[in-house]
Structure 1
Amino acid sequence: MDPGADPAGTAELRAALARVPDGGWLAGAVRRVAADPAAVARCFPAAGRRCGRDPLPGLPDWSADQGARALLLAALPADGLADRVAEVYRWGDAAEKLAVLKALPILPLGAAGVGLLADAIRSNDPRLVAAALGPYARHLDQAMWRQAVLKCVFMGVPLAAVDGLDDRADAELGRMLAGLAAERTAAGRDMPADATALLSRLEGEA
């Protein structure tokens, strides 16, 4: 697990998942995946049906299926973990991809999952773009991170979803936001209020 980057933690997820509809299935699935990593291909898609999709108590940013899938990934052996996680992401539907992205900070991957962030950022799904800018996004280089923030503004994703925004926003991001604001003004369109506030702050710092 990456130090200091775990937004929920496996202990918190386990506690929150204690009352899911089929907790016995989840416990068994975690054991199966730990013993046979290939089992994750069967268990991961089934988590939504077996555990439900309700918000987790105490962890409003997580749903039951996301939490269950995160625990399944956390049960995988470290050997070959990056390849296994990438395979689960590659073959998953949007909900499964979202669960993988949210689980990245609690997996001992280092920067090996950055390619999954890049794929999510290229997508047209605002949920995936927002998830890609969670705590694991600290592994993105600054240029890619700026482009991802700009895409959030373009797609109307609230900038509150961007982890560490205040620390990473810089003059170059301000320049890019100013360019987007000029384009929108010319087209008779407004900038989101949070993007306007960020631009004003960056211009003031400059």
Structure 2
Amino acid sequence: MKEPAQEWLTQAVRQVEADPDAVHRLFPQAERRGGPGARRALLGALRGHHATIRGLYEAGDSGERLAILTVLHELDAEGTAVGLVEDALRTNDARLVAAALGPYGAAWLDDHSFRQGVLKCVFMSIPLAAVAELDRRFDAELARMLSDYAAELRAAGRPVPGDVLERI
């Protein structure tokens, strides 16, 4: 016999597969009713339904947005949802900013937006280890930006984060 959470999740995934719009009703209650990983499972059932995923993100709370950003690289192989990542980079929620620079953001953000996101991580004290593909995307312009920021910190008598020092 299945546990109640597993049963709920199994039924919810079936409903979303049959009718993607059902996710709007199920997604907000997924973690509470289906347990950890339930949002991921519902999002997996939406593979290819980019407009629905965008709608969930736009209507979602920060936890729901975080769930979407975390699995976006599994849901969208064309980069059509890069606007969600750009939106997350405009927030002041460190969890969303870090998730925005995960695998999907590393793959689809243009160079300027990626650099700005990395700099925002430094401003928000998000470790650079959270940035996916940083070694691959690191370039002379990002090095210059980080070096300039480090100089500003030193001039203000403030410490430069160790992960920034390692990069400049």
The answer to whether the 8 Å contact 2:73/2:104 transfers is: yes
| Equivalent of residue 100 in structure 1, options 62, 68, 72 | 68
Could you say which residue in structure 1 is the equivalent of 2:7? 24
TM-score, with length taken from structure 1? 0.77
RMSD: 1.5
Per the alignment, residue 183 of structure 1 pairs with: 152
Cα shift readout 1:43-82 (whole Å, capped 9, x = no counterpart): 1111121133xxxxxxxxxxx1xx221221121263xx11
Aligned-partner SS, 1:136: helix
Contact 2:119 2:146 in 1 (8 A): yes
Instruction: Choose which of 68, 78, 89 in structure 2 pairs with 1:121.
Output: 89
Cα distance, 1:152 vs structure 2: 0.4
1:21/1:145 CA distance change after superposition, 3 Å: farther
Residue of structure 2 in register with 1:74 after alignment? 44
Q: Could you say which structure has the greater relative contact order, defined with CA pairs below 8 angstroms and 6 or more residues apart?
A: 1
The structure 1 segments of at least 4 consecutive aligned residues displaced by more than 4 Å after TM superposition are: none
Task: Look up the equivalent residue of 2:90 and give its one-letter code.
Answer: R
Supply the distance in 1 between the matched residues of 2:116 and 2:85 (Cα, whole angstroms): 12
Matched residue type, 1:29: A
1:195 is matched with which residue: 140, 164, 167? 164
Q: How many positions carry a matched residue from both structures?
A: 166
Call closer, same or farther: CA 1:181–1:21 in 2, change over 3 Å.
farther
Contiguous gaps of at least 5 residues in structure 2? none
**How high is the sequence identity, in percent, across the aligned residues?**
53
Structure 1 unaligned spans of 5+: 1-18, 53-63, 200-206
Partner of 1:12: none
- How far 1:21 sits from its partner (Å)? 6.2
In 2, the alpha carbon distance for the partners of 1:77 and 1:99 equals 14
Q: TM-score, normalised by structure 2?
A: 0.93
